[in-house]
Structure 1
Amino acid sequence: MTVSTATVEVVRLTAADLADCRHQLGVLLTDAVDDGASIGFLAPLDAAEAAHWWLQFAPEVEAGRRLVWAARDGAGRTVGTVGLVLEGKANGRHRAEVVKLMVHRDARGRGLARRLLDTAERAAADADATLLLLDTRTGSAAERLYDSAGWTRYGLVPDFAADPDGTLSPATFFYKSLT
């Protein structure tokens, strides 16, 4: 199924929304892992486990420490997501971390990842964060996205995380100043 990004709506999720759409988010997460994304899981990822994984963030979402957006196509299917974790430490409240940017394979190549990234960046600025951080697998499409979106590489760590097949891969770390 091909997805037109013109019909995609990006919405911020509440804790209740997170629970309500956990199954669709689980499908998205499973799709990313099945496609080889190094996002913290090994393949095969059980759909029920993937859906349940999202529930752990409900307290952080409720407290406003983690912001999560879902991109929904015209049929209401979740085809993308991104998260933003706001730093709670007193000496770090100026920074935030972009986490779990995912776009379903059916919706890739149409600018949705950039749109989700822009959403997280705007929300960080609205929350008075002036420094954003993230990491991604070296050599991935995500790495090219962050390069093209004006993020700055600040390091590469070999064997940082296992890909879904268990192979250790390097990660590239990025930051972006919002000032």
Structure 2
Amino acid sequence: MGIASQAGLTLLELMTALAIAAIGGSLAMPLLGQSLERQRLRSHGLALLGCLQYARAEALRRNQPVYLCAANLKRNRELQGCLPSPGGARQTWPEGALVFADRGGVGNGYYDSGERLRLAMFDGAQVAVRVPMRQLALTAEGRLQAAEAVVFRLASLSGRHCLSLTVAADGRASLGAMDDACR
């Protein structure tokens, strides 16, 4: 009869493997955090881009102005309307973007109950969305009523990553490249 061999790991081998795994994990965590931050910023940018493209398409389809404003949400995330403007040159859209069209030819340019076409919700605790105005209007031809380009600036709250979204005067929106040097 032969000597029985033992299978398994010794305590020293197990502790060494755990130490190597802990070192590898500690090196990967900051990169994972930055990757998640960049992805969160990109998803907010894509949601806003989708709203802008939808608003332009609806303006063309309905042959009437369509509006995009900063959403005002209740605690339970139910829509109340457009966020009132605090004044100043730079506005923040912390809760989301609301696309609406006046119904029945009223044409007052203000959100009334039941006029919602699309709503994109933002996480204001993670991403700051800044724009020079509280509301954009797209004409029946799909152009910006302001007749000049508008730039949305999205930034992670850590300030490490930025993204810009430009709406040209003709109403077409485009998402810029991710920028790691926010200004």
Please say whether Structure 1 and Structure 2 have the same fold, judged by a TM-score greater than 0.5: no
- Give the greater-gyration-radius structure (CA): 2
Higher strand fraction (1 or 2):
1
TM-score after normalising by structure 2: 0.28
